[in-house]
Structure 1
């Protein structure tokens, strides 16, 4: 009987933790929170990337934590890391692309 009740502790904890987390996140003043302002730079990328972690490629890594609030934090961290890597690659490629174009324009202007 005790072993069966232990299985449901996760669901009972989620029943209380998730609404509490949503309430606390909603009660924050976004304009004054530097952390939320920094996280807002990654929102679109996190929205696009998190499903690959959850549903397609990295299910085992994504669901390593047992509780949903920890899974949420873990997916957010993983997604932000991947978005930052993609942003750096994009910035490098754009810098390289514009550098090549400006060199090409200088060659054309000199002729």
Structure 2
């Protein structure tokens, strides 16, 4: 692996997820403040929503066709997508931390 490939891989696997997470945190922090305290559950769901957005449609359960049931399932899909995306986001951050020493090793060795 060349140096430019290692740096490109580092930017994609490490820098980009961390920057996206910080941006999402800054955007949703004010929306998750309740009584002067930060609600971490809603922050987890809202920050994970972009990472789980395309996965939430897998959980659609057919309802009885009423408007209230449809809205409830739509909201439930957003919440489930946010929770799943929160785990995806956590995994991407773990991979980002792992890529720091791996990139240093790649730059030193080759």
* TM-score, reference length from structure 2: 0.43
Which protein shows a greater Rg?
Answer: 1
Tell me which of the two structures has the higher relative contact order, counting C-alpha pairs closer than 8 angstroms and 6 or more residues apart: 2
* TM-score, reference length from structure 1: 0.43
